[in-house]
Amino acid sequence: MPELPEVETVKRGLAPVMEGRVFEHVRLNRADIRFPFPDNFKTRLQGVTLERLSRRAKFLVAELSSGETLLMHLGMSGRFVIEEGLDLPGRATRSSPLVPADSGTHNPKHDHVVFTMSAEGSGSNAPLIIYNDPRRFGFMELLEAGDFGRIADLGPEPLSNNFNGPALHAKLANKKSAIKSTLLDQHIVAGLGNIYVCEALFGAHISPLRLSNTLSENECELLSVEIKTTLKLAIQAGGSTLKDFAAVDGALGYFQHRFKVYDHEGDICPNKTCTGTISRIKQSGRSSFFCKNCQK
């Protein structure tokens, strides 16, 4: 499932071709993906300007001129592809793609939504924003003004100033669950997923099995710094591609080549002063990778 760095990569790719443009046409190739599309989804979007595209946790958040918000989640295999052309009634043709239709993992039979955005200027072609999702675990929702829906009660963004050592220590004070599970709780910190929690815990020398309320203030400070560093490096690398993820230009993420512990079961610990090996255990149905020797 795409985590924060992957969603941030997608947001940065979509913003230049969606922000400030009008949804000229919306085509739905099915009535639902993970959930049914909202009532009157097409008519509520067509003719409306996408004023700002941002990310909150693992969600794409599109603020609309109508006052509504389009909330989009990629699920497990969702991705966006940008093509150049027209997809309007009576003019359903496409010109040369800005992203080749066969790039990355894109298979056109799984194109479920097509947004035709307004052209940037006279003589230019309208970009098509295609949502492709083989497993159909993604979804789109329209929220009325003032309604924050699923993102209302999320914790702080890990890359924000609101997330730091003291704030994390306060959140963990009454938590008796394992720190790995606690960090995956979106109410504690928003957007973290299995891969980057494993990597950050390794960087902070903290075992994923440690009870959350046993972390000291210094350990929380170190952990918050490692989380920020790990996420920033992953974003710079375009995220991680394990199975399905690709950016909107078809590029695959590169950060998987920099994993220190994730998916490295049995390998020698990358810490030069450590002689241990990487172990894999199951926590809450997910794999945790760590070094028992240097993560305490």
Question: Catalytic residues, which ones?
Answer: 2-3, 58, 286
**Nearest-angstrom CA–CA distance, 168 and 215:** 10
Neighbours of 117 (CB within 10 A): 22
**Nearest-angstrom CA–CA distance, 81 and 64:** 21
> Where on the phi/psi map is residue 184: left (φ > 0), alpha (ψ -120 to 50), or beta?
alpha
* Cβ neighbourhood burial of 39 (10 Å; 0-12, 13-18, 19+): exposed
* 229-234 own/partner pairs: CB under 8 Å, 24+ apart: 229/200, 229/203, 230/196, 230/199, 230/200, 230/203, 231/4, 231/5, 231/158, 231/159, 231/196, 232/159, 233/258, 234/5, 234/196
Answer yes or no: are the C-beta atoms of 269 and 293 closer than 8 Å: yes
Beta strands in the chain (DSSP E): 21-28, 49-56, 59-64, 69-73, 79-88, 91-94, 111-117, 127-132, 139-143, 278-283, 286-291
Cβ neighbours of residue 90 under 8 Å, at least 6 residues apart? none
199: part of which helix (H) or strand (E)? helix 194-203
3-state secondary structure of 37: coil
Answer yes or no: are the C-beta atoms of 262 and 289 closer than 8 Å: yes
**Nearest-angstrom CA–CA distance, 58 and 245:** 14
